[in-house]
Structure 1
Amino acid sequence: MKNLTLLVLAAASSLVALTEAHISFRYPCPRRAPYDECPKPSGAHSWSDIDYDPRTPLGTHDRQNLPLPKWPDSFAGTRPVFTAGLTVNTTYDVGAVHKGGSCQWTLSYDGGKTHVVIQDFFRNCLRDAVSGRTSTLPVKIPANAPSGNAVLTWVWNNNEGNRELYASSADVVIRGANGGSLSGVKPALCNYGPASCYIGEESVSAGNWGEAHFKAREPITITVPAN
């Protein structure tokens, strides 16, 4: 009876954490997410490896709480296949909207070590989302994106509330050219530790939503060898 009570309490606390958190990917499935449609743990992973709090921020301007990507891998399962040049309707599990913010989407071909930004939506990203519902945003995969296993990451700085950085990473397959390069800029990881760029609340910073930091992003080229 005692063990059953502990299990119930643990499950309840996990649900509370998910409810009180903020925003994450829903599709494609973020790594180790608890959503019903996402892969489940097997083999080297156990049920204790599930991320019951996928919507929590990775950090604040004072502290990096979690790495990017948050987890080193996904549970084994079928990865969604995205075709280069086409648009993907990504969905988000929305807890708190924080009056929107600035979104960046990146691709990585080395498991999440290096990222190139493939799309931006500054200032008003997810402003019209509704707490407790999913929200959809279109993301176009670059026409010259090379084929291969990749990590699609969404990065978000909120306009209101604690100065935080949110991000979700999902393992996907890109169907494109056999080898090649993808050029762009590195993501701006603001409000992610004391050494990071700082974006204040828009309402108290005369409308400053971090434009200068996004304009100053470093160029990067990712090269994927042909098979």
Structure 2
Amino acid sequence: MRLGFRQLTALMVMAASAWTHMSMISPCPRYNSKGIDCPALPPGEAIDYNESSPIASSGVALQPFCKYTTPWPTPAAQWTAGQSITINFSTYGSEHNGGMCEWSLSYDGGKSFVVINRVLGRCFYDAQNNYVFNYTFTLPANVPGSDSAIFAWSWVNAMGNREFYMNCADVVIKGTSESFSGPQMTILNYPGYPSVPEFMGNYSTGLAYYNNAPTITVFAKANQTGNSTITTMPADPPQSSPPYTMT
């Protein structure tokens, strides 16, 4: 039986939907179709129904960092430095055997990101190999306040095409610190940056890039001179759980 164009297109869409990836849904990333408590769209923008797609795959850049460069008109979340925050992910995605996850903040419109939490190795799995779809951690007490901070989740998948994922949410942070230092966000599998192979059960694959990430200092918006400062010393980043090996 020969399939018509519409039938073939429908099958292709169904096949693509059956192999989705991971996507942050809270705080709501820019334009995310599955996001929770999302702000109104910026003028001229459209809902992202392919919200779980990578921004780079197999050496090709598919989208810019954060996926979209125009922020939400109003914040997706309001936090206070030092409070506990919970980050939620869609339960319909594929975890691709885990990988390296980072959560970061930018105070300069996305030019630089400082890491505030990491799960390296088996992201989306716990110590008993159960799926994890939300993470709770403490926002550092000494992060600066900002009315226009960008909160980012980034991920290098352990299995499958060599990809880089990134979702960004625009947030307000209340805080009194003037600056904050931590590891610079690690970017892999994106054109112009190092690539790492499939992990194939070796969850230390690419770990050196994270352990040797330079320390970056970001500043409260009112005191920024346009650029964050980077120190080349290796970072000793926060890590909410150790790498796990699938059993």
Q: Does TM, normalized by the shorter one, top 0.5?
A: yes
> 1:210, CA displacement in angstroms?
1.1
> 1:158, CA displacement in angstroms?
1.0
CA contact (8 A) 1:111 1:150 kept: yes
Structure 1 residues 30 and 15 mapped into 2: Cα distance closer, same or farther (>3 Å)? Answer: farther
Tell me, in whole angstroms, the C-alpha distance in 1 between the residues paired with 2:82 and 2:10.
42
What's 1:215 paired with? 211
> 1:216, CA displacement in angstroms?
2.1
> 1:79, CA displacement in angstroms?
3.1
> 1:142, CA displacement in angstroms?
1.1
Tell me, in whole angstroms, the C-alpha distance in 2 between the residues paired with 1:11 and 1:50.
20
Deviations 1:24-66 (A, max 9, x none): 1110000011236322336x235xx211111001113512211
Match for 1:116 among 114, 117, 137? Answer: 114
Q: Does 1:79 align with 2:76?
A: yes
CA-atom RMSD in angstroms: 2.7
What's 2:230 paired with? none
Tell me, in whole angstroms, the C-alpha distance in 2 between the residues paired with 1:91 and 1:170.
12
SS in 2 for 1:76: coil
Match for 2:67 among 64, 70, 74? Answer: 70
Structure 1 residues 17 and 113 mapped into 2: Cα distance closer, same or farther (>3 Å)? Answer: farther
Deviations 1:124-143 (A, max 9, x none): 1113565xxx8111132111
Q: Kindly, what percent of the aligned residue pairs are identical?
A: 32
> 1:207, CA displacement in angstroms?
4.5
What's 2:40 paired with? 40
Moved over 6 A (4+): 10-16
In structure 1, stretches of 5+ residues that fail to align are: 1-5
What's 1:169 paired with? 168
What's 1:102 paired with? 100
What's 1:154 paired with? 153
CA contact (8 A) 1:18 1:53 kept: no
Normalising by structure 2, what TM-score? 0.75
Tell me, in whole angstroms, the C-alpha distance in 1 between the residues paired with 2:170 and 2:10.
26
Tell me, in whole angstroms, the C-alpha distance in 1 between the residues paired with 2:158 and 2:86.
23
Aligned residues: 210
Match for 2:178 among 177, 180, 205? Answer: 180
Normalising by structure 1, what TM-score? 0.81
What's 1:3 paired with? none
CA contact (8 A) 1:18 1:52 kept: no
What's 2:200 paired with? 203
Tell me, in whole angstroms, the C-alpha distance in 2 between the residues paired with 1:180 and 1:140.
19
Structure 1 residues 71 and 209 mapped into 2: Cα distance closer, same or farther (>3 Å)? Answer: same
More helix by share: 1
SS in 2 for 1:125: coil
CA contact (8 A) 1:129 1:135 kept: no
Tell me, in whole angstroms, the C-alpha distance in 1 between the residues paired with 2:70 and 2:136.
25
Q: Which moved more, 1:49-58 or 1:61-70?
A: 61-70
In structure 2, stretches of 5+ residues that fail to align are: 1-5, 224-247
What's 1:59 paired with? 56
